[in-house]
């Protein structure tokens, strides 16, 4: 049922990484060269130790200069590693910043319908968890892996330089490495994918049960919910342990490669020294070289997990950044602010339409109330006009322009309001970045929020939203209306934006809403029919169809659905 957002293919993901590196080619080469130099210097260690062995074997104790070289190598290696790793960090962090910025930009431009279909959790987890996983990999795994890869590569070169014949056992071990990595890679990707899903399901269950804790308590549902959490958690644990089993089998295979390589190097040393074509020192150096490969290989592979996870996360980010960016060009300026619906139909579930054949016109500046039974499709219609969903059939135009192509947008305010974390003025300036202080206070005053807003601890600079000063539902709603005033969209829709504030609060909000809508084409979805009675026109929706349309008086006189609703509404109020 959920249709998750796109995930990029492996090749595409790497190509995207390439695109991120390209503008930093200089930095990348610099980092590579510095690390390369450091690693190359480090390779002197083993032959120096071999040299000491040879000197000692020859009965000499003039060890001073090889030891001095060892010390110099150590210092040079330390410095180059520090410098190289810093460069890698600059490279990695820069790429990460580019990627996340591009991601957030694309994510914010995604059609809401797409986001809703995927479940809000999908986007949130990509923007938090996936970015974090990649950041961790960039910060911890990338430098270690880069160094390890270089060490491995250069050590092989070092062994070859020492005596090319030592390469034979190394090349014997290599295919096992390659095969093992491939064997693991294929399996791990699949396992990681299902693990991610299981963890996601577990997270969803936790949020669902914990978020509904009050309800769970009220109805004594704790035991069944704890059981659900337990099942989901156990499923995730089982998959994680399967991953560990795979990983340890992977290590087991690598041990085989290690053994074959090391034993081969020793045997080669034995043969070469026996044949008199290599010194004991050379054989020692080769063995030490190979043994010193164990740690970097293990270090790199221990991070294979992180790298694997980061790759999966990366493909989830690239999947979104690769999506088309809605082009601003080609947008047409609507001639006026009328909204026209022609033959509009919509279904959430195929074959089960909730809106059918809707023809409706909202004149410029007209205020229309949309009423009808619960479940009739009012919210759905509001979302269609706001461009949240695309109609399954028919078309919606704004000022003669197809809604998706119009250069102006339709604002929708519902009961779910969000207060952006940060100073209150910043929240408002999202609507109009260049708004002056006067504009801001004027907007607040217009929706009757100036009083409480200036009375906040630090006035309009008070930090609100998550982690800041908590606003009441009604205040948050007023803030949303103030944003609307600042953004000044030609068309605005309010979907029961005022219903939850309690009836006294509702009346106040209704007035604020009316002022915010002044001069705009407005659609008001309301069960409180007082709002309908004061609108320019009332449209009645019934089971997904428009059944009546006219002024309050006309519809009362007609004695249809609206008259029935009004009778029920006013009957209890007289």
Partner 1 sequence: MKTVRKTTVLKGAVTGQWKSVTLASALGAAHQTGEAAVPLLIGVVIDEAVRTGAGGRLVFWIGVLAAVFVALSLSFRFSLRCGEKASHQAAHEVRTELAARVLSAHGGAAHGRLSGELANIATSDAQRVGQVNLGLPIAFAAVVGVLVGAVALLRVSVVLGLLVLVAAPVLLGLAHFLGKPLERRSDAEQDRAALASGVAADLVAGLRALKGIGAEATAAQRYRVTSRSSMEAAIRAARSRAWLDGSMLAMTGVFLAIVALVGGHLAASGSISVGELVAAVGLAQFLLWPLSIFSWVNGLFAQGRASAARVAEVLAAPPVVPPGSSPLPASAPGRVELTDVVSGSLRGVSLTASPGELLGVVARDPADAVSLLAVLAREVDPTAGSVTLDGLPLSSVESSALRSAVLVAAHDADLFEGSVRDNVAAGGSQVDEAMDAARVDDVARALPDGLDTVISARGRSLSGGQRQRVALARALAAAPPVLVVHDPTTAVDAVTEVSLATGIKRMRSGLTTIVVATSPALLAAADRVVFLASGAVVSSGAHADLVADEDYRLVVLS
Contact positions toward Mg ion, by CB under 5 A? 379
Cβ 485 to partner 1 shortest distance, Å = 10
Q: Which is nearer to partner 1, 19 or 93 (CB)?
A: 93
Contacts with partner 1 by CB under 8 A: the residue count is 176
Cβ 527 to partner 1 shortest distance, Å = 5
Residues 538-567 that bind ligand ATP (CB under 6 A): none
How is residue 533 written in tokens? Answer: 């009675």
How is residue 554 written in tokens? Answer: 């006309």
Residues 226-255 that bind partner 1 (CB under 8 A): 226, 229-230, 233-234, 237, 240-241, 244-245, 247-249, 251-252, 255
Does 392 sit near partner 1 (CB under 8 A)? no
How is residue 191 written in tokens? Answer: 């396992």
For ligand ATP, which residue of 377, 391, 465, 490 counts as binding (CB under 6 A)?
377
**Closest chain position to ligand ATP (CB):** 379
Q: Which is nearer to partner 1, 260 or 342 (CB)?
A: 260
For ligand ATP, which residue of 51, 147, 225, 378 counts as binding (CB under 6 A)?
378
Does 357 sit near partner 1 (CB under 8 A)? no
Element (DSSP H or E) covering residue 448: none
Does 375 sit near ligand ATP (CB under 6 A)? yes
Does 524 sit near ligand ATP (CB under 6 A)? no
Q: Which is nearer to partner 1, 412 or 539 (CB)?
A: 412
Residues 42-81 that bind partner 1 (CB under 8 A): 45, 48-49, 52-53, 55-57, 59-61, 63, 66-67, 70-71, 73-75, 77-81
Q: Return d(Cα 316, Cα 63) in angstroms, integer.
A: 56
Of partner 1, ligand ATP, Mg ion, none, which one sits near residue 173, judging by CB under 5 to 8 A according to partner kind? none
Tell me which stretch binds ligand ATP (CB under 6 A): 30-38, 133-141, 157-165, 375-383.
Answer: 375-383
Q: Report which of 50, 486, 573 is spatially closest to residue 280, judged by C-alpha positions.
A: 50
Does 287 sit near partner 1 (CB under 8 A)? yes
What percent helix, strand, coil does the chain show, rounded to 5?
65, 10, 20
Find out whether 155 and 110 touch, Cβ atoms under 8 Å.
no
For ligand ATP, which residue of 285, 376, 384, 506 counts as binding (CB under 6 A)?
376
Does 348 sit near ligand ATP (CB under 6 A)? yes
CA angle 392, 395, 396 (to 5 degrees): 115
Q: Which is nearer to ligand ATP, 248 or 503 (CB)?
A: 503
Cβ 32 to partner 1 shortest distance, Å = 15
How is residue 425 written in tokens? Answer: 């003025």
Q: Which is nearer to ligand ATP, 143 or 544 (CB)?
A: 544
Cβ 148 to ligand ATP shortest distance, Å = 49
Q: Is 352 helix (H, G, I), strand (E, B) or coil?
A: strand
Cβ 373 to ligand ATP shortest distance, Å = 7
Residue 510 CB: number of other CB atoms within 10 A?
A: 21
What does the radius of gyration of the chain's CA atoms come to, in whole angstroms? 34
Of ligand ATP, Mg ion, partner 1, none, which one sits near residue 35, judging by CB under 5 to 8 A according to partner kind? none
Does 188 sit near ligand ATP (CB under 6 A)? no
The residue assigned the tokens 């987890």 is: 125
Does 168 sit near partner 1 (CB under 8 A)? no
Cβ 375 to ligand ATP shortest distance, Å = 4
Find out whether 541 and 495 touch, Cβ atoms under 8 Å.
no
Find out whether 199 and 309 touch, Cβ atoms under 8 Å.
no
Q: Return d(Cα 514, Cα 524) in angstroms, integer.
A: 10
How is residue 135 written in tokens? Answer: 């950041």
For partner 1, which residue of 21, 32, 37, 135 counts as binding (CB under 8 A)?
135
CA angle 125, 109, 489 (to 5 degrees): 125
Does 414 sit near ligand ATP (CB under 6 A)? no
Site mask for ligand ATP (CB under 6 A), range 302-341, x = bound: ----------------------------------------
The residue assigned the tokens 């009050």 is: 214
The residue assigned the tokens 């000692």 is: 56
Residue 47 CB: number of other CB atoms within 10 A?
A: 22
Long-range CB contact pairs, 171-175, < 8 A, 24+: 172/260, 172/261, 172/264, 173/257, 173/258, 173/260, 173/261, 173/264, 174/257
- Cβ contacts of residue 378 below 8 Å, gap of 6+? 370, 371, 372, 495, 525, 541
Residues 397-436 that bind partner 1 (CB under 8 A): 408-409, 411-421, 426, 429-431, 433
**Closest chain position to Mg ion (CB):** 379
Does 380 sit near ligand ATP (CB under 6 A)? yes
Laid out side by side, the sheet with 521-525 consists of 410-413, 491-495, 521-525, 367-372, 537-542, 545-550
Laid out side by side, the sheet with 352-362 consists of 352-362, 339-349, 393-398, 401-402
Does 356 sit near ligand ATP (CB under 6 A)? no
Find out whether 317 and 19 touch, Cβ atoms under 8 Å.
no
For ligand ATP, which residue of 80, 195, 379, 549 counts as binding (CB under 6 A)?
379
Residues that bind ligand ATP (CB under 6 A): 348, 354, 372, 374-380
């Amino acid at each position: 049922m959920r249709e998750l957002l796109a995930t990029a293919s492996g090749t595409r993901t790497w190509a995207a990484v390439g695109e991120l590196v390209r503008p930093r080619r200089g930095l990348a080469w610099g980092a590579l060269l510095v690390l390369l130099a450091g690693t190359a210097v480090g390779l002197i260690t083993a032959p120096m130790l071999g040299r000491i062995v040879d000197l000692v074997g020859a009965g000499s104790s003039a060890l001073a200069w090889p030891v001095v070289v060892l010390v110099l190598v150590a210092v040079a290696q330390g410095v180059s590693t520090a410098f190289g790793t810093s460069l890698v960090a600059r490279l990695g962090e820069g790429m990460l910043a580019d990627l996340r910025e591009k991601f957030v930009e694309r994510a914010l431009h995604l059609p809401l319908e797409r986001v809703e279909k995927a479940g809000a959790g999908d986007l949130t987890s990509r923007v938090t968890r996936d970015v974090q996983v990649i950041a961790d990999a960039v910060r911890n795994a990338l430098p270690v892996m880069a160094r390890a890869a270089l060490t491995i590569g250069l050590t092989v070169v070092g062994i070859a330089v020492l005596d090319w014949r030592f390469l034979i056992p190394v090349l014997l071990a290599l295919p096992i490495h390659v095969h093992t990595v491939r064997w693991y890679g294929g399996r791990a990707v699949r396992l990681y994918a299902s693990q991610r899903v299981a963890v996601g399901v577990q997270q969803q269950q936790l949020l669902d049960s914990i978020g509904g804790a009050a309800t769970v308590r009220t109805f004594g549902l704790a035991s069944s919910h704890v059981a659900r959490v337990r099942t989901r958690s156990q499923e995730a644990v089982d998959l994680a342990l399967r991953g560990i089993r795979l990983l340890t089998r992977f290590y087991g295979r690598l041990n085989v490669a290690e053994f074959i390589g090391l034993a081969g190097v020793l045997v080669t040393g034995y043969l070469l020294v026996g044949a008199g074509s290599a010194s004991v020192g050379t054989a020692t150096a080769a063995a030490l070289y190979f043994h010193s490969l164990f740690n970097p290989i293990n270090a790199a592979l221990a991070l294979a997990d992180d790298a694997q996870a980061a790759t999966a996360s990366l493909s989830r980010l690239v999947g979104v950044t690769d999506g088309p960016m809605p082009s601003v060009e080609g947008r047409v300026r609507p001639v006026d602010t009328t909204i026209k619906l022609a033959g509009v139909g919509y279904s959430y579930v195929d074959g089960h339409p909730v809106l059918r054949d809707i023809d409706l016109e909202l004149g410029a500046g007209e205020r229309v109330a949309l009423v009808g039974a619960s479940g009739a499709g009012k919210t759905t219609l509001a979302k269609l006009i706001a461009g949240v969903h695309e109609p399954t059939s028919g078309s919606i135009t704004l000022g003669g322009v197809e809604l998706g192509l119009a250069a102006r947008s339709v604002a929708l305010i519902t009961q779910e309001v969000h207060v952006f974390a940060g100073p209150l003025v910043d929240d408002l300036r999202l609507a109009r970045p260049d708004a002056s202080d006067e504009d801001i206070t004027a907007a607040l005053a217009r929706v009757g929020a100036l009083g409480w807003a200036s009375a906040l601890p630090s006035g309009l600079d008070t930090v609100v939203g998550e982690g800041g000063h908590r606003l009441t539902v009604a205040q948050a709603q007023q803030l949303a209306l103030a944003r609307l005033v600042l953004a000044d969209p030609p068309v605005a829709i309010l979907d029961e934006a005022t219903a939850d504030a309690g009836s006294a609060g509702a009346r106040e909000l209704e007035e604020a809403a009316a002022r915010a809508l002044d001069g705009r084409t407005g659609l008001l979805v309301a069960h409180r029919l007082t709002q309908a009675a004061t609108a320019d026109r009332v449209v009645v929706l019934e089971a997904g169809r428009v059944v009546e349309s006219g002024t309050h008086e006309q519809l009362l006189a007609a004695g249809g659905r609206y008259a029935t609703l009004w009778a029920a509404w006013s009957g209890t109020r007289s």
